[in-house]
Structure 1
Amino acid sequence: MSRKGKCFDDATIESFFGTIKAEHFRLAAPNSIDAHEACVNDYVHYYNLERIKLRLSGLSLLECRLKNTAW
């Protein structure tokens, strides 16, 4: 929960919301609550499991997590 006067508490989720708006909702706006929920769920799955990040050496979050936890 964000604290009063601490704008950086929400920086991570605000960054994610900005990314989902820029990459997903500008392409196709859902026209119902159920469609909107399905779009968000699909994007969260894509964001966590498939989307590569340059700061992770071109790995997805899942690949990076597996690489760093493998013995």
Structure 2
Amino acid sequence: MDKSEMIQSMSRVGRCIDNGPMEAFWGMLKSEMYYLRKFYTYEELETAVTNYIEYYNNHRYQKRLGCMTPLEYRQYLCNVA
């Protein structure tokens, strides 16, 4: 299997643990970007979300990842393995 593939969760209905990380990400996106601006077009919103995701993955240091960005942390894990 390719490392970039996602694996579908197979937990039972009503088990929210699989959704937690995604809910946390959308909460951060809304509080750090969405609620701070007013968007007048769909294209403006789409560009802002795309830019935030690029910022989040490549430039936003996260304490829980040892003060690394998600991309740096992934590269670190690949080198350790």
User: TM over 0.5: same fold?
Assistant: yes
Give the CA deviation at 1:70: 3.1
Aligned residues: 71
1:1-71 paired onto structure 2 within 5 Å: 4-70=13-79
Long gaps (5+) in structure 1: none
TM normalised by structure 1 equals 0.82
Task: String of CA shifts for 1:11-63, please: whole Å, max 9, x gaps.
Answer: 11111110001100121121211111111100110111111000111111111
Identity %: 32
TM normalised by structure 2 equals 0.74
Query: Which contiguous aligned blocks of 4+ residues in structure 1 show a shift greater than 6 angstroms?
Result: none
Q: Which has the higher helix share?
A: 1
Long gaps (5+) in structure 2: 1-7
Name the SS for the 1:70 alignment partner: helix
Letter in 2 for 1:37: E
Q: CA RMSD in A?
A: 2.0
Cα distance in structure 2, aligned partners of 1:23 and 1:4: 31
